[in-house]
Structures are given as structure tokens and as C-alpha cells.
Amino acid sequence: MRKGDDIGQRIRNSILDLHLTIKKENKNKTRQELEENEKFEDVPTRLSNRDKDIGRVKRISTSTIQDRNRE
């Protein structure tokens, strides 16, 4: 085993210990205490609905075109 591997393993273990400690502390907290009660919206709904039809393909039946080609 190389010398760097031992240091890397200790760093990973310490990060894991910190993660588990924070997870245990936050388990009993409410959304307000964790400041997760706010909603994030990237684009307001009225703007996203306005752009819904942009780029939409309007398809027509090809059967009528094929029928015209046969005549």
C-alpha cells in the first residue's frame, strides 16, 4: 500500500463522519429550521406557458399526399 492511499482513506473517513453527524443533527429539524421552506422557480409559469408552442411541429396526414401522387 502506498503512503498516499492511507492519507486519502483517512480524508474519506473524516468526510463520511462529518456527513453522518450532520445527517443525524438535521433528522429532527423542521423545514423552517433547515431553511427549506422557500420555493425556487427558475422561470415564472406565465412565461413558460407563453413559450410552449414555439418549435412545435404541426403534422399533416401524408395519406392525402400519397393519394394525389397515385393519380
Spell out a b/e string for 24-47, using b for 16 or more CB atoms within 10 Å of the CB, else e: eeeeeeeeeeeeeeeeeeeeeeee
Give dist(CA 1, CA 16) in Å, integer. Answer: 22
Q: What is the pTM of this model?
A: 0.42
pLDDT at 6: 82
pLDDT at 18: 95
The phi and psi torsions of 14 (rounded to 5 degrees) equal: -70, -35
Q: Where are the domains of the chain?
A: 3-70
Q: Where are the alpha helices (DSSP H) in 1-71?
A: 3-26, 45-50, 63-70
Residue ranges for the chain with pLDDT beneath 50? none
